[in-house]
Amino acid sequence: MDVYETLQTDILILGSGGAGLCAAIHAHDSGLPLRITLAVKGLFGKSGCTRMVQGGYNVVLHPEDSFEKHFVDTLQGGQFLNNQELAWLLVTTAPERVRELENKIGCFFDRNPDGTIHQKPFAGQSFDRTVHRGDLTGIEIINRLAEQVYRRGITILEEHRALELLLDSTHERVVGALLLDIREGSFLVVQAKAVLLATGGGPSMYKIFASSADKSTDGIAIGYRAGAELIDMEMVQFHPTGLLAADSQLTGTVLEEGLRGAGGYLYNGKMERFMARYDPERMERSTRDIVARSSYLEIQEGRGTPRGGVYIDVSHLGADFVRQHFPGMVERCRDMGFRLDEEPVEVSPTAHYMMGGIRMDGECRSTLPGLFVAGEDSGGVHGANRLGGNGVACSTVFGGIAGESLARYAADTPHHPYQETQVQAMIAETLRPFKQPEKGAPNLYALRQELRELMWEKVGLVREEKALQAALQRIAELQEDCQRVALSGGRRFNLAWQDLLNLQNLLTVSALITQSALVRRESRGSHYRLDYPETDNHHYLRNVCLQRGAEGEMRVFWRPVALSRLSPPDLQVHKE
């Protein structure tokens, strides 16, 4: 038997982005006598995607704005695939959360001359409602939230990655998680009354991606393997403007949407403002799905730039204006030899955000007792396309709600025992690559690169039946190859081991994305089928749901979207 350490806590939070930190603070401030443990795969306050948020936070503050306007924008952006009650909760709770961030957490947001909070324009919105701190909003939010978690004395486990969720003897209740101490290469069983998945998504299974390099859709993968229900996994957002920087790790890094909101232009390689072909009314301020797909089609049709992208140009706004309002973007471009304030910069669509994830209700409960979810690990809020500025709002709004729900649940729930046999099986599987024969073993990084190319070409911005079927078959083969990867060296800070664990989760989620894309035979939001280019409300105003079966098989089924507050115009829904 392999040796492991144990820790008992009341609440285990996996992830330290906006969702995880808000959950920890709200659970602590509930006043209930609860032990709270927060585990983060990277360094606390220094890793993850919320920290990378540039643009800002959508919230209704101005008297001429309204919840109804923000709600309609969110549903229209999501092509009415959203869970409307979750979307309404996002919109109506966001003002409360922004006030909390400023007055309780200590965040500073940009101000107007009259002292009110400044709100800038973002694409796909009927009102300028995006609150920000320059163009580095995420750093401000994460730094202040992390300070408050430290002040509360919450237990923090740095560089501890979650491997799997632990179930009780019924296999239906989550009772903790198995963690890997990356520094020591040792295992830790955390027994908890309630577990929150807030690891962040991060679709790094694509060739060009915007997320933090440590992200590998871990929470979605381990939630699926535990038996939680997932929805909308086909809905992967590609941000239109990811920096093209050759082979640098900065390739794919987002140049924020505020550049287009402020009046930036997009040009193809022929210096044509190509958005006139795709959305002549909104042009560059169209929604992310439309702009990203339009850019991709321009590139595919031979009208791209020398590096295979398109240009974003804000130089006509004036160098002083650009440097004043987008200092982070100017500096990032300058580091790569580009002058954003003076010339066009080459960009490409970049895999950015998972709209799909683990299904949750308004209290952030998953379909498994004891398991809660918030942020990008969850599905349902954004539907088929997330509005820029709704992401960090979603994380902090539902992170806070999750913290309060976790506290109530943990206060009324006893500890349930985990299964020793399950723990031992998990540890044995995690260590298996060290016992594999090295001769003839596949190259880990060749497999990872093939997956990225495969997903980009066959399950990317434009999809069709045969390519999706081929991708699904090849992903299954890559999963088999992954089982034969051999590792050497010690277990402490073994980066190849971490990369293998990342790849295993990415393959799991890639299969979920591809299967969902295959069964949705229409185009909606971020999901575009070349062979089914029209949106079909008659048959497909439904969520694709996935769940792991008792024998490990992937169950696919549908749930109708509950049009509880608003219906799309000219709605005709298939009633069978």
DSSP 492-549: TT-HHHHHHHHHHHHHHHHHHHHHHHHH--S-BTTB-BTTB-S--HHHH-EEEEEEE-
- Domain assignment of residue 300, yes or no: yes
Beta-strand ranges (E) seen in 314-393 are 345-354, 357-359, 371-373, 378-379
Q: How many angstroms separate the CA atoms of 108 and 140, rounded? A: 7
541 lies in the same domain as 442? yes
**CB distance 380 to 232 below 8 Å:** yes
Domain assignment present for 519: yes
Give the helix, strand, coil percentages of the chain, each rounded to 5.
Answer: 40, 20, 45
CATH number of the domain where residue 268 is located: 3.90.700.10
Q: Are residues 346 and 443 in the same domain?
A: no
Helical spans, DSSP H, in 319-433: 319-325, 327-335, 390-411, 420-431
Neighbours of 65 (CB within 10 A): 17
- Other Cβ atoms closer than 10 A to 233: 28
- Cα 237 to Cα 70, 336, 391, 511, distances in angstroms: 20, 25, 11, 17
Is 239 noted as a catalytic residue in this protein?
yes
Reported in sequence order, the residue ranges of 173-259 that DSSP labels E, i.e. its strands, are 174-181, 186-197, 230-231, 236-243
Total domain count, the chain: 2
Q: Is the residue at 60 inside a domain?
A: no
Among the listed residues 529, 554, 546, 530, the one whose alpha carbon sits nearest the alpha carbon of residue 476: 554
Assess whether 555 carries a catalytic annotation: no
DSSP string over 286-300: S-HHHHHHHHHHHHH
Domain boundary among 295, 330, 351: 351
Torsion of CA 25, 26, 27, 28, to 10 degrees: 50
Per-residue model confidence as pLDDT tens for the chain (576 residues): 788 999 999 999 999 999 999 999 999 999 999 999 999 999 998 887 787 787 789 999 999 999 999 999 999 999 999 999 999 999 999 999 999 999 999 999 999 999 999 999 888 889 999 999 988 899 999 999 999 999 999 999 999 999 999 999 999 999 999 999 999 999 999 999 999 999 998 899 999 998 888 899 999 999 999 999 999 999 999 999 998 987 777 788 888 888 998 899 999 999 999 999 999 999 999 988 899 999 999 999 999 999 899 999 999 999 999 999 898 889 989 988 899 999 999 999 999 999 999 999 999 999 999 999 999 999 999 999 999 899 999 999 999 999 999 999 999 999 999 999 999 999 999 999 999 999 999 999 999 999 999 999 999 999 999 999 999 999 999 999 999 999 999 999 999 999 999 999 999 999 999 999 999 999 999 999 999 999 999 999 999 999 999 899 999 999 999 999 999 876 654 443
Sign of torsion over alpha carbons 415, 420, 422, 423:
positive
Instruction: Give the SS3 label for residue 9.
Output: strand
Tally of CB atoms within 10 A around 280: 9
Catalytic residue among 132, 160, 161, 239: 239
C-alpha 527/C-alpha 251 separation (Å) is 23
361: nearest Cα among 383, 377, 378, 375: 378
* Exposure string for 347-381, b = 16+ CB within 10 A, e = fewer: bbbbbbbbbbbbbbeeebbbbbbbbbbbbbbbbbb
pLDDT score for 246? 75
Contact 12, 174 (CB under 8 A): no
Q: Please say which residue of 308, 329, 351 terminates a domain.
A: 351
Among 319, 351, 383, residue at a domain's last position: 351
334 lies in some domain: yes
What domain range is 342 assigned to? 238-351
Question: Would residue 99 count as lying in a domain?
Answer: no
In a domain, 155, yes or no: no
What pLDDT score was predicted for residue 575?
42
Global pTM value: 0.95
In a domain, 444, yes or no: yes
Long-range contacts made by residues 50-53, C-beta under 8 angstroms, separation at least 24? 50/17, 50/18, 50/19, 50/138, 50/141, 50/142, 50/200, 50/392, 50/395, 51/17, 51/138, 51/139, 51/142, 51/212, 52/138, 52/210, 52/211, 52/212, 52/254, 53/137, 53/138, 53/141, 53/391, 53/392
Q: Give residue-wise pLDDT tens across range 142-174.
A: 999 999 999 999 999 999 999 999 999 999 999
Q: Are residues 344 and 438 in the same domain?
A: no
Domain assignment of residue 399, yes or no: no
- Identify the pLDDT of residue 570: 63
Residue 96 parent element (H or E): helix 84-100
Same domain, 347 and 242: yes
CATH at residue 483: 1.20.58.100
Residue keyed to tokens 């009650």: 85
What's the burial of 316, exposed, middle or buried (CB within 10 Å: 0-12/13-18/19+)? exposed
Instruction: Name the active-site residue from 132, 160, 260, 416.
Output: 260
